[in-house]
Copies of this chain bind each other. A is one copy, B any other.
Amino acid sequence: MTPEVEGYGCTVDELMVVAFSRAMDNDTRAFNGAVSFIPVCGYLLARRTHAPNLVWAAASIAIDANPVAIPESTLSDALWEGASMLSTSPHDFWSYASGARYNTFAFRGAQMDACGNVNNTVIGPYDKPKVRLPGGGGMADLSTMIPKIFLWNTTHNVRTFVEKLDFRSGIGWGDGGDHREQLGLPGGPQLCVTNLCVFDFHPDSRRMRVASLHPGVSIGDVQEATGFEVLIPDGDIPLTAKPTEEELRILREEVDPTSARLREF
């Protein structure tokens, strides 16, 4: 089980899903990759609350799927239930992704840096890895094509949030500043939702900045759990908004009744 959030009547996984969900709008057209329970719950919750027209392609394939529950894999065909289309042609998929027909993608990695770049390839030197990870899969592709990138991480600590990645498998804001723009890439990371806080990105440096803290977490806690210098906004740092009872009910009863999202914790 994940920790209770003080005074919010929910657990951290639920708060993360709700924070993710609220970042989605009615023009969101998203899809998901492997082991992406938080985003999948977030898309489904948003669609059932404030963003009824949100498009979501389950496993990047099953458009407008409407599963009765979330299975143990977010690529599983059990997630495809109720879809309007099985969109399986890579030819068409890259068109949808390149032309911002799909405009939203979420990823995470074993390591993330201040600019929202992600490593899922190796821990240690590439040629002599300490741990050989799965590899970036489609991260290097989609992170260059999709304008609205969202990041999440359920284990916010200094091993996951690092000053320097061992390998950049997917690009966030790259080297920061206008690096993406220089490379001709659209948009960039918008938010990073963790088990401690929500980061946004400073509009100039494009480095992570605390946008809100989960109840019971101090800015010191965040900095201590983060391997790079955390930016702090001017003025008070808000608490991550409290989920409504309706959001929690829908998440628990309709979106993810079997709590598949806990597989990420």
Q: How many copies does the complex hold?
A: 2
A94 CA to B232 CA, complexed, in Å: 54
A91 CA to B91 CA, complexed, in Å: 8
Instruction: For the complex, count residues of A whose C-beta is within 8 A of B.
Output: 2
Contacts of A91 in B (CB 8 A): 89, 91
Contacts of A89 in B (CB 8 A): 89, 91
Within 8 A of B (CB), among A60-102: 89, 91
A91 CA to B92 CA, complexed, in Å: 10
Q: 1/0 per position for A82-124, CB-CB distance to B under 8 A?
A: 0000000101000000000000000000000000000000000
Beta-carbon nearest neighbor of A90 in chain B = B91
Beta-carbon nearest neighbor of A92 in chain B = B91
Q: 1/0 per position for A10-44, CB-CB distance to B under 8 A?
A: 00000000000000000000000000000000000
Beta-carbon nearest neighbor of A91 in chain B = B91
A91 CA to B88 CA, complexed, in Å: 13
In angstroms, how far is the closest chain B Cβ from the Cβ of A93? 12
In angstroms, how far is the closest chain B Cβ from the Cβ of A95? 11
A89 CA to B88 CA, complexed, in Å: 13
A23 CA to B89 CA, complexed, in Å: 38
In angstroms, how far is the closest chain B Cβ from the Cβ of A97? 16
In angstroms, how far is the closest chain B Cβ from the Cβ of A86? 16
In angstroms, how far is the closest chain B Cβ from the Cβ of A88? 12
A91 CA to B89 CA, complexed, in Å: 10
In angstroms, how far is the closest chain B Cβ from the Cβ of A195? 43
A258 CA to B98 CA, complexed, in Å: 50
Q: 1/0 per position for A157-168, CB-CB distance to B under 8 A?
A: 000000000000
In angstroms, how far is the closest chain B Cβ from the Cβ of A46? 34
Within 8 A of B (CB), among A111-151: none
In angstroms, how far is the closest chain B Cβ from the Cβ of A251? 40
Which residues on A are within 8 Å of B, measured CB to CB?
A: 89, 91
Q: List 3 A-B contacts (CB under 8 A).
A: A89-B89, A89-B91, A91-B91
Pick the 3 closest A-B CB pairs, nearest first: A91-B91, A89-B91, A89-B89
